[in-house]
A and B are shown apart, each in its own frame.
Chain A
């Protein structure tokens, strides 16, 4: 019986090649938030009755409470996760009261002498009993090797999962081991080639998965789940605010779904090595309709000491009609344009959230060098105990050789906010915000003035 358990251990540690059985089918499902489900199916030879199966090649970042082992005719008695790790000092500690061999090398003639000693204690120093002498190990500074008989059963090279099972009869059978592990995560990376004159975007998507679990997953069937699955650990983590969508889509995306999430299976079995980033392409689309917008945002009525650059954003839709029609898992979108010579040049990047198909996206790429705005608070008057009147003047300059339109957003409206006068027609974005589309001539400037009254 013990012999069989030993064989099972060997098989699990070194793959079952040695036994000419079916290779373990490893499958890994990776979630966005530092979590993966590992499933390991292989033939394990078991003896009839109760025995302990050890699994050494599981992820070092395993969540042991999630382990489940299943096979026909096998019932689990108990599961243990042992993490008393083998180190030289532990080895000595566990050898107290037992015999070890010590090998001394005589510094005078270089001769080695081997003796058997009993370890009496290992506190601050190691006290040995050799024959009828009591000595401290290496008291004379002479090189002394200590040879232990064996590694105690409870000390392990790495945290080890063991499952005690009861088998109905002897014989190999396919066994499924599954568990959750941390240390694996993935996100999407997008390369967007923007062509302003065509008003189009070529989009490529890559899945980037990282393995910091400390374990390699060899030849694994891999799939990725897009979506934020709740975990207790992630409840206490800081979650960066999700980048907003201009408008969330209502189209059903492409590909497989599981519950409320999208599933991206990798086309090939792959080896996810420890300390590796792996990228696999998953999306390629040409000619997605896109446009560039300039935006200025001011949250309050105040004067600006310096002109401020307008932000530049690329806006597009991942709707079918716009040329895409795919959901976009959360990640980073890097935007490129071609320079005069036709070479792609990076112009900025931004994070996107999980984006259902049919959504409107706005990717901020950076600040415009040539389009600037400077606001001046011209007057600030109290019209009653609870109301103020503000007059703002924005000088918006355009040093580009073509006319541009700047979307100006003015926040700061409170109760009963209303526009009293304006040099250009505004629209109300929301209770707090006014918006103007300000046209600026080529190599020119436009002054926008307006007066608003608002309570506070």
Chain B
């Protein structure tokens, strides 16, 4: 059998003819018309992930950013000569979901749409030039003389092997200065993943296209600041849309909207482009006085810019919060199906690696009730003096116009400030779920210093039918100079749970039975509860 599978000089001549053939018969390789960038872009941000960003670890934040979604609508003007063309859209978002793309305004039906994510890199350059003629340039380190030789790439990028007129050689194994020189970039390789569509134009046309697609890497949440008035009865609530662009794409001067609500999503595999590493697979290199090739010294530390990884970028982004717009111009809220749509008052630039905040809510004098909540359950005997339940400071609001609110509140984080001696003091923060109009909600902002609760199990009795009766007494003490209301809650999630005796009628709060007890300034009270449950 012949061992020479190498195609000699004779068959190299067919190269151009072959390429011409491919160009003629393949729609994907039709004339490429590039649309360098959008004339106009509009974006809509969707919130993804659970909980506010503040509650996440750095690595979780990076993941959370990818969970958000952005819908990008671009207007592009292109000139299409007559015939079949591949129209390539440059400058699209780097983490786009190609399946979601739609193009409107094409002069004819789209034959097909392609998303090429083979990236131009040293490895892919070698891989896609296999079997082709390249030049190898060697530089003599002493004389500086460069010698050029034509060669055929036989193997790569994991160990590059060349066929020259003199024989077969490996690249990068000789210790000399060697370089490969290519004629052209092989087809289908680009610096970024490329979205393109193949279209037929009957006549030359200047077309205005609307390209719309979804991309990941952008997320948003609402951030609220509640300032409690010195009176302690009302607060001012301001809300900010915090837009986080963790992707590498900027959306310049874009009408921007944000959608509040939770969307159903399907996990998506976003191709961010595939490059190929080049590996030297040289023969063993030991000498009589050197062992395995020394591990190369670590590369010099990168400049701070490059060192900031994706995670750091987010932190940096959060530090340099760009506040645009002002309170006078709030983002406008409208309906979008079963979601809430917030439209920013004017186009903004959502730059790559940027956090941007725009106000959407400014409510004065919102009524609230301050409560001190003690959570109990029937599993505990409360006989360990080191384990007393804390009283949590809770602000209870009702999202209705009569209380100064009555606006949809998208999920996010809420920070509370109190006024102490005329100066604001941070009083805690809390995650906020989506709160529709007409719904009461509690903000648990911290633990109370001056309000203490000490529950005691004072009696436990066996009842008929395998039931147990327990009597609890809760001592409540208020060390504050103002009267307060404490709320004692008892978990009811126990088989056969029943309240037998209570000083006042309970109601249900957050799925637990709740009693409210008014405590005078510097006063104390005891609450006695009798409950039963199945063993």
Contacts and interface: CB of A to CB of B under 8 A. Distances in A.
B67 to A, nearest CB: 14
B190 to A, nearest CB: 11
Contact of B159 (A87, A123, A144, A382): A87
A360 interface: no
A152 B98 contact: no
B98 A23 contact: no
Interface string A77-103: 000000001111111110000000101
A394 to B, nearest CB: 12
A139 B287 contact: yes
Contacts of A52: 1
Interface string B145-171: 100000000110011110110111110
A150 B168 contact: yes
B468 interface: no
A6 B437 contact: no
Given A107-B142, A148-B168, A339-B334, A153 B408 contact: no
A365 interface: yes
Given A149-B168, A271-B26, A377-B493, A347 B263 contact: yes
Contacts of A305: 510-512
A303 B492 contact: yes
B241 to A, nearest CB: 15
A315 to B, nearest CB: 14
A250 interface: no
Contacts of A171: none
Interface residues of B, number: 116
A91 B114 contact: no
Contact of A399 (B46, B102, B437): B437
Contact of B110 (A107, A124, A281, A343): A281
A280 B28 contact: no
Interface string A292-312: 000000000011111101011
Nearest to B495: A380
Contacts of B434: 309, 367, 369
A152 B6 CA distance: 11
A166 interface: no
A427 B338 CA distance: 27
A380 B493 CA distance: 9
Interface in B276-312: 280-289, 292
Interface string B256-271: 0101111111100001
A332 interface: yes
A87 B155 contact: yes
A377 B513 CA distance: 11
Contacts of A364: 264
A345 B71 contact: yes
A176 interface: no
A151 B154 contact: yes
A177 interface: no
B174 A271 contact: no
Given A17-B14, A23-B21, A110-B142, A279 B496 contact: no
Interface string B3-23: 111110001001001100110
A369 B340 contact: yes
Contacts of B289: 139
A380 B338 CA distance: 35
Contacts of A123: 284
Contacts of A87: 155, 158-159, 161, 281
B188 A274 contact: yes
A131 interface: no
Interface string A124-163: 1110000000001111011111111111110001000000
A168 interface: no
B11 to A, nearest CB: 5
Contacts of B145: 110
Given A18-B14, A144-B174, A307-B439, A369 B338 contact: yes
A89 B159 contact: yes
A101 B69 CA distance: 60
Contacts of A274: 118, 188
Interface stretch (A7-15, A255-263, A406-414, A431-439): A7-15
A242 to B, nearest CB: 14
B433 interface: yes
Given A218-B22, A303-B511, A346-B214, A367 B176 contact: no
Contacts of B89: none
Contacts of A350: 264, 266
A6 B5 contact: yes
Contact of A101 (B166, B174, B260, B280): B166
A105 B159 contact: no
A148 B334 contact: no
A139 B288 CA distance: 7
B44 A345 contact: yes
A210 B508 CA distance: 54
A381 B533 CA distance: 9
B511 A376 contact: yes
A268 B175 CA distance: 51
A379 interface: yes
Contact of A18 (B17, B169, B534): B17
A53 to B, nearest CB: 11
A366 interface: yes
Contacts of A379: 498
A122 B283 contact: yes
Contacts of B280: 88
A445 interface: yes
Interface string A39-67: 00000000000001010100000000000
A391 to B, nearest CB: 11
Contacts of B44: 345-346
B385 to A, nearest CB: 29
A174 B333 CA distance: 68
Given A208-B99, A369-B434, A107 B141 contact: yes
A307 B511 CA distance: 10
Given A105-B141, A110-B143, A305-B511, A279 B112 contact: yes
B408 A370 contact: yes
A351 B163 contact: no
Interface of A: 2, 5-6, 9-10, 13-15, 17-18, 23, 52, 54, 56, 85-93, 101, 103, 105-110, 112, 122-126, 136-139, 141-153, 157, 189, 191, 194, 196, 204, 206, 208, 216, 218-219, 266, 268-271, 273-281, 302-307, 309, 311-312, 332, 334, 337, 339-340, 343-351, 364-372, 376-377, 379-382, 388, 397, 399-400, 443, 445
Given A105-B141, A302-B493, A346-B44, 5 more contacts: A110-B142, A125-B288, A147-B168, A340-B334, A349-B263
27 contacts: A5-B2, A10-B7, A85-B155, A89-B283, A89-B284, A91-B168, A92-B284, A107-B141, A108-B142, A122-B284, A139-B288, A143-B141, A144-B175, A150-B6, A150-B168, A206-B99, A219-B26, A268-B27, A271-B28, A279-B98, A306-B510, A309-B262, A339-B336, A347-B339, A350-B266, A370-B338, A376-B511
Interface of B: 1-7, 11, 14, 17-18, 21-22, 25-29, 42, 44, 46, 69, 71, 73, 98-102, 109-118, 130-131, 140-143, 145, 154-155, 158-161, 163-164, 166-170, 173-177, 188, 212, 214, 257, 259-266, 271, 274, 280-289, 292, 334-341, 408, 433-434, 436-439, 465, 492-493, 495-498, 508, 510-512, 534
Q: Which 4 A-B pairs have CB atoms at the shortest separation, nearest pair first?
A: A110-B142, A125-B286, A88-B170, A153-B3
